[in-house]
Amino acid sequence: MWVKKTRLCDLLGIEYPVIQAAMPWISNPELAAAVSEAGGMGVVTPTATMAPDGNPVQNLRAVIQRVRNLTAHPFGTGLYLGHPEIEELVRVIIDEGARVAITYGGSPALFTSRLKDAEIRVLHVVATVRHARSAEAQGVDAVITEGVESGGVQGWDELPTIVLTPQVRDAVEVPVVAGGGVADGRGLLAVLALGADGAYVGTRFAATRECAAHQRYKEAIVSAVDTGTVVVARTHRPMRVLKGECAQRLRNSSLGSDPHHLTAAEWEGALSTRNIRAGALEGRLNEGLAWCGASAGLVSDIVGAAEVMKALVKGADEALHQLTSGWQRE
């Protein structure tokens, strides 16, 4: 198959250039193991299936041990660098012998050298060329571009994957992984054509049987159309979510406007991690925010993670064959 090997595969020891995105609350061991077993790289997060009052440090240790019992293949751990217990979380993945860390939401200067000293591969999420260059200068092994199509927290400049990825590819020497908008084989082929060494896929893997996401959340992804998501809180903390009552309330509100709009404290409450948990893990879609990429319009069913992996790779090959079958050969 044409997409079988890239520099990302060599770097991570995986068969296909696909990484399942680090999704707070729902990147559980069963999902990560299924993706890794199918040839990609699954990723777990410290809050995976954790109770609202749970301890993310203890939870991460249990999550890593659980996924290791489920697969002998490589898997990654997502680390939000702004987490108040980030020091302890870093210590856990080092103690547990994790091999890959995906860092985001902070400066790569904070922990990259420490992680690499422990022989952990570091992939850092970036939203601009400047961020990519900075991450490379700090020694990361690869960068993940985050286009505006992606679900969850956005870059302030809202650069689309199709223009961000090739510019980052031209700016750095390390492997580039493209995130945002990839949900099928056509998307995988497209980002490889843009110069990426692989794809970072979240929303498509959220709608799988193994994912810990609530069934209502999965069904909402499947039901979403091309305009089914929206970016909220652009002036505060931009994030792409499924359209719903909570999302609409945020869209209609602004800080410091009038008493009928949300206060700063209400904004923080609406954008809190527990509110994200309410949408994704508990299925309370009208009360909480459900992170979701614009690729939801491409998701039509809830299947196994292995089926998603197969469809991505086979679909990319088929798209390439269809594209080139009519070309004349000299």
pLDDT by residue, tens only, the chain of 330 residues: 556 689 999 999 999 999 999 999 999 999 999 999 999 999 999 999 999 889 999 999 999 999 999 999 999 999 999 898 999 999 999 999 999 999 999 999 999 999 999 999 999 999 999 999 999 999 999 999 999 999 988 888 999 999 999 999 999 999 999 999 999 999 999 999 999 999 999 999 999 999 999 999 999 999 999 999 999 877 777 889 999 887 777 776 654 344 445 455 554 455 457 778 888 999 998 888 889 999 999 999 999 999 999 999 999 999 998 888 877 555
- Residue pair 246/289 in contact by the 8 Å Cβ criterion: yes
The residues spanned by each domain of the chain are: 7-212+300-321, 215-294
Residue 181, by phi and psi: left (phi above 0), alpha (psi -120 to 50) or beta? Answer: left
In this predicted structure, what is the pLDDT of residue 309?
98
Torsion of CA 204, 165, 119, 33, to 10 degrees: 10
CATH topology of domain 7-212+300-321: TIM Barrel (3.20.20)
Cβ 56 vs Cβ 25: under 8 Å: no
Phi then psi dihedrals of residue 225, to 5 deg: -105, -170
Neighbours of 235 (CB within 10 A): 9
Give the residue ranges of DSSP H helices in 172-209. Answer: 185-193, 203-206
Query: What pLDDT score was predicted for residue 288?
Result: 82
